[in-house]
Amino acid sequence: MPEYEVPLPMAEELRRRPILNASDLHAHLEKAGFRPLALVVDNANAKVRAFFSEELDDRAKKRLTEAVLDYERKHLGVEK
């Protein structure tokens, strides 16, 4: 099962806010066209791990990272 890790760059901000919710992030990724089998949101270490049934190509990996970071910005109320 391929696994992709996305580090979250605003770790200090995350510590001051409510935790990122894996089910909300999962729904956000599905709206972006992804079908993750599972997500692990590690708020303490500011990273997200996404598991898929197949390998993602380079373009999809980049889109995945952008989608996760977009969700983080929305969660924190930070504009792009």
Nearest to 78 by CA among 6, 4, 12, 5: 12
Residue 74 Cα to chain centre, angstroms: 12
pLDDT number for residue 80:
59
Tens digits of pLDDT across the chain (80 residues): 899 999 999 888 877 777 888 999 999 999 999 999 999 999 888 999 999 999 999 999 999 999 999 999 998 888 65
Entry pTM? 0.90
Q: Between the CA of residue 53 and those of 4, 37, 43, what are the distances in Å?
A: 12, 7, 24
Q: What is the structure's pLDDT at 12? A: 83
Q: What φ, ψ does residue 31 adopt, rounded to 5°?
A: -65, -30
pLDDT of residue 77: 84
Buried b (16+ CB within 10 A) or exposed e, 35-60: ebeebebebeebebebebeeeeeeee
Domains of the chain: which residue ranges? 3-76
